[in-house]
Amino acid sequence: MIRTYTIVPNDYQIAGSISSEIKKLIKNLEMDSALIKRLSIACYEAEINMIIHSKGGNIYLYVDNEWITLNFNDIGPGIKNISLAMEPGFSTADQVAQSMGFGAGLGLCNIKKNADMFSIQSSPQGTNLKIAFRRKGEST
């Protein structure tokens, strides 16, 4: 299964709708509830990060017999310091995002904690976050 979703920057009205749709798709595959929970948390955090911090982009969902893989590709402005962004509580979210309860600085930490595989690269042209979850067996 392959699906593509488009993220519109600063579209807080639909924030979380893509991760909800992905959660429903994965539930229909009759996956373990712990796996669904981990995937849902990581996907939501990544979707929100794209809405808050990027100029838009795409989410690609790939499902095969062994893995559920999500690629989050945005078109900038990039993460200036990935190491700092990985620290709990560090946030560059603006006042608008924070006033709506977003931008606590836990997104990347929660994503990494819940995924079986985590990879991130960033430049001013954009950020690529790839996370994957084993379909069989539990791991974190």
CATH of the domain at 10: 3.30.565.10
Report yes or no on 139 lying in a domain. Answer: no
The SS3 of residue 126 is strand
Q: Output the CA torsion 119→122→126→129 (10° steps).
A: 10
Predicted confidence band of residue 30 (pLDDT cuts 50, 70, 90) = confident
Residues 17-37, mean pLDDT to the nearest whole number: 95
Q: Give me 116's structure tokens.
A: 């079986």
List 127's β-bridge partners, or say none.
122
Q: Rounded to 5 degrees, what are φ and ψ at 50?
A: -65, -40
Q: Three-state SS string across 50-87, please?
A: HHHHCCCEEEEEEECCCEEEEEEEECCCCCCCHHHHCC
Report yes or no on 118 lying in a domain. Answer: yes
DSSP 137: S
Report yes or no on 51 lying in a domain. Answer: yes
Overall number of domains in the chain = 1
Report yes or no on 125 lying in a domain. Answer: yes
Q: Is the pTM of this model over 0.75?
A: yes
Report yes or no on 110 lying in a domain. Answer: yes
pLDDT digits (tens, 9 = 90+) for 78-119: 999 999 999 999 999 989 898 888 888 889 999 999 999 999
pLDDT digits (tens, 9 = 90+) for 38-55: 999 999 999 999 999 999
In angstroms, the CA 92 to CA 105 distance is 8
Tell me the residue range of the domain where 47 lies.
2-134
For 10-33, b/e burial (b = at least 16 CB within 10 A) is eeeeebeebbeebbeebeeeebee
CB neighbourhood size of 34 (10 A): 10
Give residue 140's identity as a one-letter amino acid code.
T
